[in-house]
Amino acid sequence: IQRTLSIIKPNAVKKQVIGEIETRISKAKLKIIAMKMIKLTKSQAEGFYAEHQDKLFFDKLVNFMISGPIVVQVLEGEDAINQYRQLMGVTDLSKAEQGTLRADFADNTTENAVHGSDSISSAEREIAYFFVDSEIV
């Protein structure tokens, strides 16, 4: 059993597709064990994406992530990290498989609707970034 951090990004919240995303998560047998809607500050967004701070897209990414509310949640299940990445589809939109969250809800490579942790260590870091133990049920 594994845990992963999921973010429904500002463009997806604006499109009112939170419900549709949750439906797909439950169909994939991933259990939501923590969830909240928040608006990131600039420094929170910069800290979350610190590994990308030298990339050309960093400022665009941070400004997008603070452009509106997001939904952060912890998902638990068998192989949760890879399972959720498969549900999301790949980063490069032109390659995102039909029926994935990004194929259906991304607007471009930055405004790509969802985030999911990419490893066990990043999942641990990212979950602790947003949740204290008492918020995970």
Residue selected from 59, 78, 97, 118 as contacting ligand ATP according to rule CB under 6 A = 118
How many Å apart are CA 92 and CA 105, to the nearest integer? Answer: 13
Pick 64 or 133: Cβ nearer ligand ATP: 64
> Per rule CB under 6 A, is residue 115 in the interface with ligand ATP?
yes
For 72, list phi and psi in degrees, rounded to 5. -105, 140
How many Å apart are CA 33 and CA 50, to the nearest integer? Answer: 26
Q: From the list ligand ATP, Mg ion, none, which binds 67 (C-beta under 5 to 8 Å, kind-based)?
A: none
Is residue 52 flagged as an active site residue? no
Where in 36-75 is the site for ligand ATP (CB under 6 A)? 52, 57, 61
In angstroms, what CA-CA distances link 24 with 18, 85, 88, 101? 10, 12, 10, 9
What minimum distance in Å lies between the beta carbon of 134 and ligand ATP? Answer: 26
Token pair for 114: 């969802």
Give the sign of the dihedral formed by CA 10, CA 13, CA 18, CA 21: negative
Q: Which residues bind ligand ATP (CB under 6 A)?
A: 52, 57, 61, 91, 109-110, 112, 115-116, 118
Residues belonging to the active site: 115
Q: Which residues bind Mg ion (CB under 5 A)?
A: 118
